[in-house]
Structure 1
Amino acid sequence: MPVDFDLTAEQKRLKYTSREFAREVLRPASILADALVDPQEAFQAMRPVYRQAAAQGMHTMFLPKQYGGGGASNVDFLVAIEELCAVDPGFPTILLVNGLALMPLLWFGTEEQREKWIGRAAADTSGDFLAGWAVSERGGTANFDHPSPRAGIQLMAEHDRSSGQYVVNGEKHWPCNSGGWDLRGADVSLCVVRTDRARGGKEGLSAILVERGTAGIEYEVIDKMAHRTCQNVTMTFRDVRVPVENLVAAGDGDLLINRNFTWSAPIASMAAVGLARGAYDFTLKWAKTYTGGGSSPIIHHQAVGNLLADIAAKIEAGRYLCWKTAHYMDQFDGQGHALGGMNKSFCGDLMQSVVTDCMRVVGVNALDRKFPMAKFYREAAVFSLYDAGNLAMQRRRTWGVMADRTFSPDTFVDGDPLQFARSMEGYGTLGERG
């Protein structure tokens, strides 16, 4: 069978339906929201867009049909994400984080947890349901799998056996969606916690489902320079009580983190590609009409033509690596950790340079806020930093897999399965290896 990069007829329909939604619904709302001074007001301004997205099933399209979701493949989701992010990458992050909160229940949750939360999310067509993903902490969590219990995740969940509850204390910094539309909490937030004070990151971590309205949590919105159409908060937990049946992945929180960021890696990568493509779309039209004071459009100048050729090539290369990664994950569920890490690092870093090159073509007018280039530039800075930052977690996950004796340079070329194991964790953490 030949290598095939063709989209199916259904995927092409999804592409153009998503493009129409992005341009007609998302664009005008995101322009207004991005300009709002208050970050929570900016997030709330996107709620009508979220409602329309929910009516089309976008907010749960990646969840399995068994629980009422759309049953979309990883590749399908990327097709939609590229179109949305070409207009605004903040809003699709809301959709992505629904997945980061709920997908782990498929891998580590109980059937009761899946039916309750995935079923509830999928049943929502009005755009009310919101799920949060809380892993990052103020002190940094890149070394979540550090062998010392005093490093990495420090949000503590202690089991109170007398009440059958976990008592949670500490802080999460940067959780997305978790504050909810009204800062009273998302419907549910999946929080990575330390459940064993005496063990390191490979044994002492778990996750816990924190429901909306749970007492003892404060939410403070983070004011960001970009991705202003999604919400990030600081969550402070003070003797927060959570039922024991809300525990997920007991002692396997490290594996949950790795698998979650593997699932999201091609999505975040395609978000970067989509943003770069949005900048390229504008720049190409600009180059075909703007003369720079000369007698013909600047695209006829060799320097501009050469730079545009490089820009286009980088976007094509990034897109196909995203498709390859998503296709591999569709074939081998729960694998692709190294490929995902490579994808996220490559696209997040490369697409930032693409946007900068687009600005060079547009010239000083790129700084004028009436054009979209200034926003593209701000947004591009996000991709190497968020979703398991490229400098730390993403490259380190790739490194750990490559160091394993089972890895071969032909693994991904040949499409062979490669199961992720705990022995691949811990690379780069102080004290784990000399």
Structure 2
Amino acid sequence: MPIRTNNYLNVISLHLLLGVFLFVFRPVSVVYAIFILVGGCYIIIKNKNRNNEVLFCAAYLVGAEVFLRMTKGNIGNEFAKYGVIIFMLLGIYFKGISRKSIPFWFFFLFLLPGIIYGALNLSFDVDIRKAIVFNILGPVCLAICSIYAVDKPFRLTDFEKMSRWMLYPIAAMLIYLFLYNPNIRDVVTGTDSNSATSGGFGPNQVSTVLGLGMFLVFSRLLFFSKNIFVIVFNVCFLLALSYRGLITFSRGGVYTGLMMIIVLLLAVYPFVSLKGRFKINLVGFFLAVFGVGVFTYSVSQTGGLILNRYKGEDALGREKASKFSGREELAASEFEMFLENPITGIGVGKSKEIRKEMIGIESASHNEITRMLSEHGMLGILGLIILLVTPLLFYVNNKQHILLFSFFIFWLLTINHAAMRIAASAFIYSLTLLKVILVEKPVVHRE
């Protein structure tokens, strides 16, 4: 078995043990969080970011974020976003930035008026710092990640390494979920998102990371699994992630993971040989069969309630009034705020306060697009245009980036159901901007 394969399986095994250890000794999770941050900075500084160590360290922290929150290891709610920003700033220091990053400097500048306007207009009884940081740190993290990532060379071997680093802590979280709630039937009583099956944490965010894990394992099956033992291991890993993702009863992450896989297959298919297409067809067929099996097993474990959830029905089989758990009402209120304040917006952090006055619901936004519109106004529209258009323009001269559309779809779908609660959406978006090199151009030797 190749050394890299051994390394992957050995480190996954260590992280499964880590998940067990933190389940038994949960307070140690804080030490784990500090180790990630300090260890990441050490690796980047020691190597002077020669091989884009920033991306691997950030990938690990992104994979660990929800697990840290679940085990109370976060040093502050936004620990992972601050950590990713620190890694990226170190990367910029050692490796500089490309001139092509200019659109994201503008995106960053477009955020500033909304921050100032929000600070001036928030009520006195609101913690202004927390209200602003909660809403703006995700976009700031995205801007800094993107400024670093633009046009950085990235090879398929780099993706192999990055996918490993991100999957390690996801494996630890997965075993923690099984230990936290081994018997699903004991805790499932309805069709709403279920924190009891999500490690006691937000099902939406847990589902998001599990869906991302599904894509990463599938990509490893497609590109990097060369022997039968690793193939069987990754299939089992993928099925376990899919099952735990389903029984969170939060659909967004599962749908996103599936869409990323489908988009990847569509992106790869035209560029492979007949033999490669046969492999893709075979992998797709077996995974579809296994997927049906996992869903059927989930239906049996939940007494049919998971089927009702995906059909938009309640526990009694009646159609729910809201197909999106009330998120459409939140988005509609923010769009109304934008129409009333189309130029300046209402200011960062203000939407939650105004929503309570408008419709009596005190809830943070789940949709980053409508939040950008309501809180940033016209500058929010310009910022969104930059985010939507720039990766597609880069693709014109970066056709080898077969992962671009999968990363892009993750960001786009995730910000529509989970806003930018976690660092994953910011970091994964920035990966669309890398200069991916699958086939090296031949060196021309002159006589």
Structures share fold, TM-score greater than 0.5: no
Higher helix share: 2
**TM-score normalised by structure 2 residue count:** 0.30
Task: Flag the structure with higher strand content.
Answer: 1
TM-score w.r.t. length of structure 1? 0.30
The higher-RCO structure (CA 8 Å, 6+ apart) is 2
